[in-house]
Structure 1
Amino acid sequence: MTDTFAVVTVTYSSGDYLHNFLRTLPAASTQTPQVIIADNGSTDGAPEQAEADHENVTLVHTGGNIGYGGAVNRGVAEIDADVEFILVANPDVEWSPGAIDELLAAAKRWPRAASLGPLITEPDGTVYPSARRVPDLISGTGHAVLGAVWKSNPWTVAYRNDDADLTERPVGWLSGSCLLLRRSAFDNIGGFDSRYFMFMEDVDLGDRLGRSGWLNVFVPTASVMHAKSHSVSKHPEKMIPAHHASAYRFNADRNPGPLRAPLRLALRAGLAVRSKIAVAAAQREQRAADDRA
């Protein structure tokens, strides 16, 4: 197995997604990496089967559902410190040929790049906006309030970076669904912030890397397909509040101190209301889909 990079993925009853992840991985690089599966409590047997079927796969039980970032940190801890790069990816990613080698080549071109992310497509071929700006309080609020009802509003367009060309370039942050990380930079900032159970941990990571003088680089010549949100869509009553809680944490961390306490209180109240509205809307859509079925 290679000493250049290793792969970490986090599972939670990921089923066939994990099978396809491992099936398509060999074509993504000429090297054979160590793969760490950090399992957050699967009950489907898929992680155990993957370890049995693949010599380069190691299964690590995290001891419970500790969240995405915490599980990644647990997986990274299993990898020898001499391994230069860690490829973090969701188990519902499918790899395009040469994708990882393209990211590694870009890492040589950008020696100050701490994270590098590929072009991410959805199953229907739609390009997912995975390379974005770090939101500030104003743009983040505008996107949160108007994004669902006015998709072309200026705050959402700026946050999603929709107008940007598909060119290799530094960005504010990259989607944690597939991310090549320079191990030295990742360790230097303490890895993912495990306080984020789910969502926004990649925004926080990219922002902290940038504040530490590193770059986050989008590499569209590498591509993967991501069957995103297969867990989120099944449990909106849990996932949507988790998303809003992470949004509050991100903004509260960047607006500390007693003088900004009223701002944080207003932000918490506004996000709580928005979360309830979003859950109700998602549940209505679920019921309508069930009725059609």
Structure 2
Amino acid sequence: MSPSVLVVTVTYNTGQTLVSFFDSLATASTRPLSVVVVDNASSDLTLERETVARHGATLLELNQNAGYGAGVAAGVAGYGDDVDYILITNPDVSFTPGSIDVLVDAAEAAQTAGSVGPRIIDADGTVYPSARNLPSLRTGVGHALFARIWPSNPWSRSYRAERDYGQDSREAGWLSGACLLVRKRAYDAIGGFDSNFFMYFEDVDLGARLGKAGWRNIYVPDATVTHTGAHSTSRSAKRMEKAHHDSAYLYLSNKYSAWYLAPLRAVLKLGLAARSWWVTR
């Protein structure tokens, strides 16, 4: 029997992106796909309702914006357990023909894979660094301090794994939640996304917990998608920068949670708060 795939995407005032999303989804797999669109309390759902109904998908309308990970969790929980894989994807993603089949085949060939991720192309045609190393304190601090003023610094390059986006599949510490196929059994085993992350780092945390539980995160460049951009966040850049820094602290405080590391957590919180203020001043 062919593996079953549930596609879950989360919208927030991004209904216009669903048209091209569904158009590309139609040729992304020869398998039947179940699609759940979770809306995080958008101001107007007219276009979402029309588009979802036209494509025979399910629209789950939440009454508040609890964040990306919580939206995905609601979509998965609302669908039920009868599925082998969950394709977690942003609504502003376009799939190349057969790309979902390539991801499923890769996961089927590597039964220890908890997640597999495609090559992600930005709107300008560049490859997005979507399969990265888990951030350490050293690389995280170096990336935070120098990423904007010295983009090619060694800490940022190490964090983004920028030299490893060729034609070969490889393991990664984590894969971008912009488009990610997760084995349902692995997702259930670790409890899915941590909804404490409102936005950003929920995919880093997911990859870390999958790896800790013995699952592998595998980058599969033979599957390609295009990510056109964060439409819902571009209008609230300062708020999203704060969310990014808050999530970075949450991830690092979870990683360095021992009682004797309390002074380190205090320094991290202060430093990230100062950096957040600096970049949004």
Q: TM-score range by the shorter chain?
A: over 0.9
- CA-CA distance at 1:165 after TM superposition: 4.1
Does the 8 A contact of 2:10 with 2:37 survive in 1? yes
Does the 8 A contact of 2:87 with 2:181 survive in 1? yes
Q: 1:251 aligned to 2:252? A: yes
**Partner residue in 2 for 1:179:** 180
Once the two structures are superposed, residues 216-241 of structure 1 have per-residue CA deviations (whole angstroms, 9 ceiling, x without a partner) of 00000000000122222221121000
Q: Which amino acid aligns with 2:252?
A: N
- CA-CA distance at 1:158 after TM superposition: 0.4
Q: How does 1:117-132 map to 2 (within 5 A)?
A: 117-132=117-132
Does the 8 A contact of 1:3 with 1:82 survive in 2? no
Q: Name the CA distance, whole Å, in 1 between partners of 2:47 and 2:202.
A: 25
Q: 1:79 aligned to 2:79? A: yes
* Secondary structure of 1:117's aligned partner: strand
Q: Name the CA distance, whole Å, in 1 between partners of 2:248 and 2:241.
A: 11
Does the 8 A contact of 2:49 with 2:59 survive in 1? yes
**Partner residue in 1 for 2:158:** 158
Task: Kindly report the root-mean-square deviation, in angstroms, between the aligned alpha carbons of the 2 structures.
Answer: 1.2
Once the two structures are superposed, residues 208-263 of structure 1 have per-residue CA deviations (whole angstroms, 9 ceiling, x without a partner) of 00000000000000000001222222211210000000000000001113311111
Q: Which amino acid aligns with 1:136?
A: S
Q: 1:168 aligned to 2:164? A: no
Q: 1:112 aligned to 2:112? A: yes
Q: Name the CA distance, whole Å, in 1 between partners of 2:60 and 2:216.
A: 30
**Partner residue in 2 for 1:215:** 216
Q: Which amino acid aligns with 1:150?
A: W
Unaligned runs of 5+ in 1: 281-293
Does the 8 A contact of 2:13 with 2:232 survive in 1? no
Q: Name the CA distance, whole Å, in 1 between partners of 2:258 and 2:120.
A: 38
Relative to structure 1, the CA distance from residue 37 to residue 165 in structure 2 (aligned partners, 3 Å threshold; closer, same or farther) is closer
Q: Which amino acid aligns with 1:22?
A: F
Which moved further from structure 2: 130-139 or 46-55?
Answer: 46-55
**Partner residue in 1 for 2:28:** 28
Q: Name the CA distance, whole Å, in 1 between partners of 2:77 and 2:51.
A: 20
Does the 8 A contact of 1:7 with 1:89 survive in 2? yes
Q: Name the CA distance, whole Å, in 2 between partners of 1:46 and 1:184.
A: 34
* Secondary structure of 1:164's aligned partner: coil
Does the 8 A contact of 2:8 with 2:86 survive in 1? yes
Q: 1:143 aligned to 2:133? A: no
* Secondary structure of 1:66's aligned partner: coil
| Identity fraction in percent | 46
Q: 1:201 aligned to 2:202? A: yes
**Partner residue in 2 for 1:50:** 51
> TM-score scaled to structure 1, two decimals?
0.92
Which moved further from structure 2: 117-126 or 78-87?
Answer: 78-87
* Secondary structure of 2:148's aligned partner: coil
Q: Name the CA distance, whole Å, in 2 between partners of 1:197 and 1:34.
A: 25
* Secondary structure of 1:69's aligned partner: helix
* Secondary structure of 1:138's aligned partner: helix
Q: Name the CA distance, whole Å, in 2 between partners of 1:18 and 1:174.
A: 23
Unaligned runs of 5+ in 2: none
**Partner residue in 1 for 2:134:** 134
Which moved further from structure 2: 179-188 or 162-171?
Answer: 162-171
